[in-house]
Amino acid sequence: MPMKIIINVGEKQHNFLLLCEDTCQNVADVKQFCYCRFPHLQNGADLRIFWNDQDGDEICVVTDDDYKSFMLAAGEDKHRLYVEAKEAMQVDASVCPVQSAPDDYAVASRPVHQNIICDACDREVVGHLYRCLTCYGYELCMTCESKYRHKDHIMLRIPRPLRSRTLSYQVIERMERYAAKLDLMLADGDVDGKKLVTVEADYSTDKKR
């Protein structure tokens, strides 16, 4: 089932939705998910993980056994997990901090996208790959994307290396066409009406091919 992770950093709340294949499997995965989105939390921040039961009580998640109990209790419903981050030093969450070096285990567990180089840092992409749907062939690693590089364009997150390059890129190219139309709609301030109908009609036509 999908998982919703609500992360509270300071006075700001950030909501993330994970689909079935991307859901966290243990406490370490949850913490790593938080660190990838907010790298400055690795600098001594205290993460309190919990969920709310049917009585509205907060149930703490400290160990992997606690996490398994949470998953079992959620059943077929959407999993809602809460994380409260208490920072060692007050940091404005709206300003992207410099990412600190991750631990060896975290780096080793990230997938490597062979022969794909980040267009910002010129390094091989490890972990999530971000592909711009506006600029042809523009790709970023997860570190550069977290620093808001190329922030004004629509990016597609690819969590693991593509098995079938030909088929996958055909799908990506189709998405790029729709992203280009969406950019025009946003630039014109018109996300309703005839333009939206045109995009939906184009999408339906492609699905029938």
Per-residue confidence (pLDDT) for residue 97, from 0 to 100: 56
pTM: 0.41
119 confidence band (pLDDT: 50, 70, 90)? very high
d(CA 7, CA 87): 13
Residue 53 has pLDDT above 90, yes or no: no
CB-CB neighbours of 153 under 10 Å: 12
d(CA 203, CA 157): 20
Domain 110-161: assigned CATH number: 3.30.60.90
Per-residue confidence (pLDDT) for residue 136, from 0 to 100: 80
* Domain 3-86 indexed as CATH 3.10.20.90: yes
Each domain of the chain, given as residue ranges in start order, spans 3-86, 110-161, 164-209
Residue 163 has pLDDT above 60, yes or no: yes
Q: State what percent of residues in the chain have pLDDT above 70.
A: 74
Per-residue confidence (pLDDT) for residue 81, from 0 to 100: 93
Mean pLDDT for 89-106 is: 55
Residue 70 has pLDDT above 60, yes or no: yes
Q: Could you tell me if 133 and 176 are in contact, meaning their C-beta atoms sit under 8 angstroms apart? A: yes
**Burial track 192-206 (b if 16+ CB lie within 10 A, e otherwise):** eeeeeeebeeeeeee
What the block records as the tokens of 73 is 């209790």
Residue 197 has pLDDT above 50, yes or no: no
